[in-house]
A and B are shown apart, each in its own frame.
Chain A
């Protein structure tokens, strides 16, 4: 299809969005990313039945945490698309990049020291 999407989007492959834990998203922010989005299967079409629905709930929870912390819940989003929707994937990548660009860089970038 020769589709383009922004180069600053780094993809982390997981077997299902249900694998994405709250801690994984928070660790990503601790490591200095400006935003995180989950690209899951269409609702009702999860191969593992409820993985994408679980991920959706977790994203909502993390939004609350980020708001509480002061980073802004808008830095994390959940999108649904099928594996055949390459066009949609590129479109979402551009949309999210634009959204994060408006929000600006993460205020915690390169400032965290992890103990133990």
Chain B
């Protein structure tokens, strides 16, 4: 099973800053089991976003949608009728789901709301053992693509094909992890 951790609310709000209409996509599979990106987590995150934005007096519309799976195009296609009404898609599925949504809706900005940590096995309820390491931290960059960083080594840097050129990736101190 894929295990992910949600990014902090502060980080998510910073990513959403320029947008007023957000489609928040969850997934009913692995990330539901690890309580990161299921229907309930979608509801909680949507509430948090609405509350914090309206506290600052800024308008935001968040539509909550939880797909059966975000790694199957049949389910991703379910949002096609209304995806155009939203400026940005915030996905809290695992990295595979986020990437597939980004591939399916190339004209949309797709933001990752989670860090996909590892593929693991369940030891007991709420406890997993890592079997295969995930990419760790997923970064978002301005052009709508995103960069995945494995550990802290730049050689493992992977850029979504066709989305951005390496030269356009700009690192800020805040986004640098592991002291690199």
Contact = CB atoms under 8 A, between A and B. Distances in A.
Given A70-B55, A115-B63, A27 B47 contact: yes
Interface in A23-37: 23, 26-27, 29-30
Nearest to A21: B40
B72 interface: no
Contact of A115 (B44, B54, B57, B61): B61
Interface residues of A, number: 19
Contacts of A113: 59-61
A115 B62 contact: yes
Given A113-B59, A113-B61, A115-B21, A23 B47 contact: yes
Nearest to A62: B44
Contacts of B50: 30, 108, 112, 114
A115 B47 CA distance: 11
A47 interface: no
B44 A26 contact: yes
Contacts of B52: 69-70
Size bracket of the B interface: 20 to 34
B9 interface: yes
Interface in B15-40: 21-22, 40
A26 B47 CA distance: 6
B51 A30 contact: yes
B51 A108 contact: yes
A116 interface: yes
A112 B48 contact: no
B151 interface: no
Contacts of B130: none
Contacts of B40: 22-23
Interface in A74-112: 107-108, 111-112
B55 A69 contact: yes
13 contacts: A30-B51, A69-B51, A69-B52, A70-B55, A108-B50, A111-B59, A112-B50, A113-B61, A114-B50, A114-B62, A115-B61, A115-B63, A116-B63
Interface of B: 9, 21-22, 40, 43-44, 47-48, 50-52, 54-55, 57, 59-65
Interface of A: 22-23, 26-27, 29-30, 65, 68-71, 107-108, 111-116
